[in-house]
Amino acid sequence: EDKVVQSPLSLVVHEGDTVTLNCSYEVTNFRSLLWYKQEKKAPTFLFMLTSSGIEKKSGRLSSILDKKELFSILNITATQTGDSAVYLCAVEMNYGGSQGNLIFGKGTKLSVKP
């Protein structure tokens, strides 16, 4: 069965801390791995990773994929209270050429305290 597992399920840190969120996966037809941030409403897209070892970076956030060990990490440096959210990892399946057929992990709930 295809699955995506995230850890930890929840995390509480203080402003300025650095955090690492983990995502491991087992899928039959891997196409890409994506990270989303979900606050109160819709998940918003952060990164899409398709190749191993190439870091994607956006401000204080960065992510990297290891296709051999089947995992990805999302790093957030110098955390701020605005980073508090649920971070979702998803794997896009290479299934009939479709776009967006994703399997999601259950997310990591990050709480950043002032």
Footprint on this chain of another protein (rule: CB under 8 A): 32, 34, 41-45, 48, 88, 90, 92, 95-96, 98-107
Q: Are strands 61-66 and 71-76 parallel, antiparallel or unpaired?
A: antiparallel
Nearer to another protein, 79 or 108 (CB): 108
In the complex, minimum distance from the CB of residue 81 to another protein, in angstroms, rounded to a whole number: 22
In the complex, minimum distance from the CB of residue 72 to another protein, in angstroms, rounded to a whole number: 15
What are 59's two structure tokens? 């401000």
Which residue is associated with the tokens 């990490």?
73
Nearer to another protein, 11 or 17 (CB): 11
Contacts of residue 96, Cβ cutoff 8 Å, sequence gap at least 6: none
CA–CA separation, 86 vs 57, rounded Å? 19
Nearer to another protein, 18 or 44 (CB): 44
In the complex, minimum distance from the CB of residue 64 to another protein, in angstroms, rounded to a whole number: 18
Measure CA 12 to chain center: 17
Nearer to another protein, 2 or 15 (CB): 2
In the complex, minimum distance from the CB of residue 99 to another protein, in angstroms, rounded to a whole number: 5
CA–CA separation, 18 vs 114, rounded Å? 14
